[in-house]
Amino acid sequence: MQKINPFTNAMKKLKESLDLIGVNGEYYKKLSEPEAILGKEIEVKMDDGNIQKFPAYRVQYNSARGPYKGGIRFHQEANLDEVKTLAFLMSLKCAVANIPMGGGKGGVQVNPKDLSEKEVENISRAWVRAFFDKIGPDKDIPAPDVYTNPQIMSWMVDEYSHLAGQYTPAAFTGKAIEDGGSQGREFSTSMGGYYALRELMKKLGQKPEQTTVAIQGYGNVGYNAARILHENGFKVVAVSDSKGGIIDLRKQGMDPKNILTTKKNKGDIGSCYCDDKVCDCEHYQKNTNKDLLELDVDVLVPAALENQITEDNVDNIKAKVIVELANGPITPEADEKLFERGVYVIPDILANAGGVVVSYFEWLQNLKDEKWSEVDVLEKLAAIITKEFNNIWTIAEDKKIDLRMAAYILGVGRIIDASKKN
């Protein structure tokens, strides 16, 4: 299979959206390169007393609509094309959600699994010292990403505050609640996806009780999506993680909390469905990730990795609706085929925008020294996702295009409008 360059693919979509908006040239030039690629070598004291150097970076893609926003990852294979793509998509995601933020992404080239907790802390603090003058609440606000977490954000805030000479929680989001994080952030990505799906279901006249769902990935996003959909009446009939998953053969729907308990107790999802009393191994079956994607369900939710639905398996996909909670789970070739077949794809830049929207709420709460309740946060999130889903739907209907291109038109159009004002 040909190696997919994610940045080339994203730029193809950008060009297409600019053509449909009716502008090109100047704007393609402006939006097809990041505003800054910052790279430094950070020096970190290791537990054995030695100083080790690690490449650290930050891509600041676009700030026309506000400060750069996006995660920091600790990963040994930091690939610039991938990071540039994610930074570009963050710019689009913030614009689609209509929050006053731009896009960025960054990290450190390191294998965090080789490090002690103290070394992770040292790397986190060194990253902040390296980029201190380029980040901050009104310039660039990082958040967690692959192998970074609320604890790391708390160390980063501490280091930033020390250098700034004042406590500055708004410099990073995704913090633990006790360190200035927001209520609801933990499951906001999945909740946003649910609000978008709820709107689509209304358009299609379909009721949750009649809707079967399969979910790939059972981490933060996949598990919370399963839980939220189950709580709202959908029938979750298959889930999987990297070790495989389970199918409910009778399609009655499983309680995701029970599956999580099995996963915690046994180390994988297993082939039997157990509640707190009994295990049923007769009406449930172990499945592979390949099987899960190709199941005959109404809604498929990829919530694990990129490039899962490709030219190789797209013809076997039976779901009528796909909600992209993962970033980039469908390749462009597969995307085209799905659209031709009338499959509705809620694109990642809307479907998983709930996370960055609540990060924005966290930043606002920190700046205003406020603490919003979970109900408040979710009401505000629902209003944003519902409104933007409907904006995207209208563009798609008017122009007879898929929801992804409609989302690109909405987001790119807003970035262009903001650039004109700057």
DSSP 75-92: -TT--HHHHHHHHHHHHH
The stretch near ligand NAD (CB under 6 A) out of 1-9, 58-66, 195-203, 234-242 is: 234-242
Euclidean distance between CA atoms 245 and 262, whole angstroms: 11
127 binds ligand NAD (CB under 6 A): no
352 binds ligand NAD (CB under 6 A): yes
Amino acid at 321: V
Q: Which of 115, 355, 412, 414 binds ligand NAD (CB under 6 A)?
A: 355
| Residue of closest CB approach to ligand NAD | 219
**Shortest distance, position 420 Cβ to ligand NAD, whole Å:** 29
DSSP state of 4: P
Please, which residue, 221 or 416, has the CB nearer to ligand NAD?
A: 221
Please, which residue, 206 or 220, has the CB nearer to ligand NAD?
A: 220
Please, which residue, 163 or 260, has the CB nearer to ligand NAD?
A: 260
Burial 98-117 (b: 16+ CB within 10 A, else e): bbebbbbbbbbbbebeebee
Enumerate the active-site residues. Answer: 105
Residue 148's SS3 state is coil
β partners of residue 106? 58, 72
Q: Which of 325, 392, 403, 405 binds ligand NAD (CB under 6 A)?
A: 325
What number of chain residues touch ligand NAD (CB under 6 A)?
A: 20
304 binds ligand NAD (CB under 6 A): yes
The stretch near ligand NAD (CB under 6 A) out of 10-18, 277-285, 298-306, 364-372 is: 298-306
CB 239 within 8 A of CB 215: yes
159 binds ligand NAD (CB under 6 A): no
List the one residue out of 169, 161, 75 whose CA is nearest residue 123: 75
**Shortest distance, position 241 Cβ to ligand NAD, whole Å:** 3
DSSP state of 307: S
Q: Which of 106, 217, 347, 411 binds ligand NAD (CB under 6 A)?
A: 217
Euclidean distance between CA atoms 88 and 32, whole angstroms: 8
Please, which residue, 184 or 355, has the CB nearer to ligand NAD?
A: 355
β partners of residue 38? 58
Please, which residue, 111 or 242, has the CB nearer to ligand NAD?
A: 242
Please, which residue, 67 or 355, has the CB nearer to ligand NAD?
A: 355
Q: Which of 18, 141, 171, 303 binds ligand NAD (CB under 6 A)?
A: 303
289 binds ligand NAD (CB under 6 A): yes
The stretch near ligand NAD (CB under 6 A) out of 236-244, 266-274, 309-317, 337-345 is: 236-244
Euclidean distance between CA atoms 203 and 88, whole angstroms: 30
List the one residue out of 44, 46, 15 whose CA is nearest residue 130: 44
216 binds ligand NAD (CB under 6 A): yes
Q: Is the dihedral of CA 25, 28, 29, 30 positive or negative?
A: positive
326 binds ligand NAD (CB under 6 A): yes
Please, which residue, 159 or 324, has the CB nearer to ligand NAD?
A: 324
331 binds ligand NAD (CB under 6 A): no
Euclidean distance between CA atoms 30 and 45, whole angstroms: 40
218 binds ligand NAD (CB under 6 A): yes
Euclidean distance between CA atoms 42 and 123, whole angstroms: 8
Element (H, E) at 143: strand 140-144
170 binds ligand NAD (CB under 6 A): no
The stretch near ligand NAD (CB under 6 A) out of 21-29, 237-245, 313-321, 402-410 is: 237-245
Amino acid at 111: N
| Residues whose CB falls within 8 Å of the CB of residue 221, separated by 6 or more in sequence, listed in order | 189, 190, 303, 325, 326, 352
Residue 237's SS3 state is strand
The stretch near ligand NAD (CB under 6 A) out of 251-259, 272-280, 300-308, 312-320 is: 300-308
- Write out the residues near ligand NAD by the rule CB under 6 A: 189, 216-222, 240-242, 289, 303-305, 325-327, 352, 355
